[in-house]
Chain A
Amino acid sequence: MNKLKTVSIIILILVLVITVFVLFNYSESDNSTAEYYVENSEKDTAATNAVTAIYLNYRVYDSIFETLILLVSVSAVIHFSWRKDHE
Chain B
Amino acid sequence: MELITGENISILIFFVGFAGLMLKRNVIKSIICIGIMQVAIIIFFLSVGLSPENVPPIDATGLQNVADPLPQALMITDIVIGVGVTATALSLFIHMYHQFGTADWEKAFKLRKDSEE
A–B proximity contact (CB within 8 A)? yes
Task: Report which A residues bind B (CB closer than 8 A).
Answer: 6, 9-10, 12-13, 16-17, 20-21, 24, 28-29, 31, 33-34, 37-43, 48-51, 53-55, 59, 62-63, 66, 69-70, 72-73, 76-77, 80-82
Q: Are B11 and A17 in contact (CB under 8 A)?
A: yes
Select which of A9, A49, A50 is within 8 A of B19 by beta carbon: A9
Q: How many residues of B contact A (CB 8 A)?
A: 37
Q: Pick the residue among A10, A31, A80 that contacts B49 (CB under 8 A).
A: A31
> A10: which of B19, B77, B81, B87 is its contact (CB, 8 Å)?
B19
Are the CB atoms of A34 and B88 closer together than 8 Å?
A: no
**Residue ID in chain B nearest A20 by CB atoms:** B11
With the chains together, A48 CA to B49 CA distance in Å?
22
B66 within 8 A of A: yes
Which residues of chain B from 39 to 61 have any CB-CB distance to chain A below 8 Å in the complex? 48-49, 57-61
A73 with B11: in contact, given A34-B49, A50-B58, A63-B77 (CB under 8 Å)? no
Complex Cα distance, B60 from A39, in Å, reads: 8
> Taking chain B's interface residues, is the majority helix, strand, or loop, or is none over half, making it mixed?
helix
Contact present for A28 and B49 (CB under 8 Å): yes
Residues of the B chain whose Cβ atoms lie less than 8 Å from the Cβ of A28: 49
Decide yes or no whether B73 CB sits under 8 A from chain A: yes
C-alpha gap A80/B19 in the complex (Å): 29
Choose from B61, B69, B88, B91 the contact partner of A54 (Cβ within 8 Å).
Answer: B69
Q: Are B69 and A34 in contact (CB under 8 A)?
A: yes
Q: How far is the CB of B33 from chain A (nearest CB, A)?
A: 12
Give 25 CB contacts A-B under 8 Å.
A6-B23, A9-B19, A9-B22, A13-B19, A16-B18, A29-B49, A31-B48, A37-B68, A38-B69, A41-B57, A41-B61, A41-B69, A50-B69, A51-B69, A51-B72, A51-B73, A54-B73, A63-B77, A66-B81, A70-B80, A72-B84, A73-B83, A76-B87, A80-B92, A80-B94
